[in-house]
Structure 1
């Protein structure tokens, strides 16, 4: 991956996602306290049970987010996209990490350490409110995930995952068929059949380790269409 400067990274995370929803002064404070970090494909950002830490904003690349209830092993839930922020729960609860986040590709992020957030909050009581917005955006995403998983047809669930994740942009989705099956609660056979169906329709092209979506609107329409069978 081509290295991205701090200035360019700030422009990217300011153009989509959480930072577009907060006041400009707070946005500037977040960026002033942020640190640019690089992860290689496969590197773990944090594990379940790691000590409390700060927040991370995705600049480029892709992160995989694995979650689970307490006392269960985390499972792949979704792929993060540029503008996506994570890590807010530690600031709000002071408890260890509840999920696992790793780089699905070579990835660039901005990191705001926990102590920096605390200093900001000591000066402005609205900081906690602004950070809580990350949590609510995560809840909105998880509601989409639950809604999609309740679709009875596996091919509709698979189309839902693909159209939701294509917000990454034009880069190939770094997902194997097995990983796509986990996110869509579908067997590998079901995933293979759906991908072939979508490929024949011209909506995507795929290899074993990546998928390129050519027509996200067609996938979205298919994912949301009702079918009686």
Structure 2
């Protein structure tokens, strides 16, 4: 498999302009990026698993990741998909506990990784940076609130549209998501997903091929998904 290369300066620009890091001061951005390493993951490759040892934070430069989690003693299940600008892994820094989610590359993905010891060094030099890192968890909470809200929709078609619309930040990238995986995120059966996908395709909102989905009109999906919201 050929590898898509991304230059370091281009990767840093993406993270400065999208997601959590874009809201931080220029000096803090530079310090995070100076201490980080650029990593490459192939489709399906595990970045970390539930229960893994302490580690640092990851920011998506390009590609997409699957976010899998579950309560203790249950198998992790797919709950969301992260795209460029998405950061996660802050739990180890905040709690000194092991990983609580599983992160897996959905497609070929480039990530910026800031090791935990580098985070600790930054916090030792300036305790206020702990607040900067703590903001990542609020982004995760916002995403979780969105997931819960979408799952509370009564109409399965609107739940499915909500799940698909959440992947829109990935852009025109084709996602190798199965109907079963979409059903898991949308609390819908495979039959319901299949029927909804056919309707959405006929409307021109997306296109599908074998194990692949491309969002063509995220705004139409959003309008349909939120039609019953108050």
1:200 counterpart residue number: 202
2:93 counterpart residue number: 91
Shift of 1:188: 0.5
Q: Does 1:45 align with 2:43?
A: no
1:123 counterpart residue number: 125
Of 132-141 and 70-79, more deviation after overlay is shown by 70-79
**Corresponding residue pairs, total:** 227
The TM-score, its normalising length taken from structure 1, stands at 0.97
* Residues 73-152 of structure 1: pairs in structure 2 closer than 5 A: 73-152=75-154
Is this contact kept in 2: 1:159–1:220, CA < 8 A?
A: yes
The TM-score, its normalising length taken from structure 2, stands at 0.96
Is this contact kept in 2: 1:45–1:103, CA < 8 A?
A: yes
Is this contact kept in 2: 1:177–1:208, CA < 8 A?
A: no
Unaligned runs of 5+ in 2: none
Question: Displaced runs of 4+ in structure 1, greater than 2 A?
Answer: none
Shift of 1:224: 0.6
Q: Does 1:6 align with 2:37?
A: no
Unaligned runs of 5+ in 1: none
Is this contact kept in 2: 1:166–1:173, CA < 8 A?
A: no
State the superposition RMSD in angstroms.
1.1
Shift of 1:166: 0.8
Shift of 1:136: 0.2
1:214 counterpart residue number: 216
1:63 counterpart residue number: 65
